[in-house]
Amino acid sequence: MGMAKLYCFALVLVLAFGLSSSARVPRGREHYVKFINNLSNKVLNVNCKNQKPYIDLELQILLPKEEYEFKYIVGRDVAFSCDLRHGFTSKAFPVSDRAITRECGGNHCNWKAQDDGVYLLNPKTNQYKFKFGWGK
């Protein structure tokens, strides 16, 4: 009877330490990226990918005024870039590097596609700032 109590006590300790250590595993910070189609009556194609590990978020087709948002966990291997296209013009750019996320001012980056290029929201001024022109 004494050994059974000892085994039960040991099992309770193992479970308690296992649960408490798993509760302390740091969760990665979530980051959100949003695209808004503000083009004049044009469809915007958005295709975002991460290279390692390879993640393709698949093509998103946005009608005028539509939005698309995705989230990812910030980590060492995260390097999302997005390709925005309309007609014969496009622009590919990183959306998860430190410089861009710093400009976003937090964990939400809001991009707006307009006829003259791509803009990023400055959360301090609540104004969109021109970032990229369209390539051919």
- For residue 10, pLDDT over 70 is answered with no
Give the C-alpha separation, 58 to 29, whole Å: 23
Give the list of residues 6+ apart from residue 77 with CB closer than 8 angstroms, or none.
Answer: 50, 52, 53
Q: pLDDT exceeding 90 applies to what percent of the chain?
A: 57
Give the C-alpha separation, 62 to 46, whole Å: 8
- For residue 22, pLDDT over 50 is answered with no
Higher pLDDT among residues 19 and 67, named by residue: 67
84 phi/psi in degrees, rounded to 5: -105, 130
Provide the token pair at 42: 């044009």
Q: Confidence class of residue 5 from pLDDT cuts 50, 70 and 90?
A: low
59, 97 Cβ separation under 8 angstroms: no
Question: 14: part of which helix (H) or strand (E)?
Answer: helix 2-23
- pLDDT tens, residue by residue, 40-84: 999 999 999 998 888 899 999 999 999 999 998 887 778 899 999
SS3 letters across 15-58: HHHHHHHHHCCCCCCEEEEEEEECCCCCCEEEEEEECCCCEECC
Q: Confidence class of residue 101 from pLDDT cuts 50, 70 and 90?
A: confident
Structural domains of the chain, with CATH: 30-132 (2.60.40.10)
Q: Confidence class of residue 106 from pLDDT cuts 50, 70 and 90?
A: confident
